[in-house]
Structure 1
Amino acid sequence: MADVRASMAGNVWKINVKPGDVVDEGQDVVILESMKMEIPIVAEDNGTVKEVKVAEGDFVNEGDIIAVIE
């Protein structure tokens, strides 16, 4: 299992995956918005999304778990 973590603090602008989706390494999982910039958060491994731990509009801090991939 691999946790997808926020690389910086920001608002969850868009969620691109849902549980059960198959993702490839480097694929955008979530887009954060911070200081009017869009920051893609990508999967670091291939796998299947087990859980998405955030909702659009949520605020996350750097290091927060956004999704779990197995």
Structure 2
Amino acid sequence: MKSKSSSQLSRRAVFAGVGTAGAVAAVSSALPLVKPQAPVAAAPAKPAPERGGGYTLSEHVQRYYKTTRI
């Protein structure tokens, strides 16, 4: 004759197993929907200036100057 606590324990184990299997099935069905992203190509680098320096008034620099105005 089985004791009452051992039958409750086995029911808990069954329900835990069913819950885990359901979660695994849900995750595995969602995985094929995820598409890997293609790597973003880097912009070609500008050639270095012949006489050194290299400062250019780019759009980024102009935006910075606009933010520093009072």
Q: TM-score range by the shorter chain?
A: under 0.3
**Larger strand proportion, structure 1 or 2?**
1
**Larger helix proportion, structure 1 or 2?**
2
Bigger RCO (CA 8 Å, 6+ sep) = 1
Give the alignment's TM-score, normalised by structure 2.
0.16
Give the alignment's TM-score, normalised by structure 1.
0.16
Structure (1 or 2) with the larger CA radius of gyration: 2
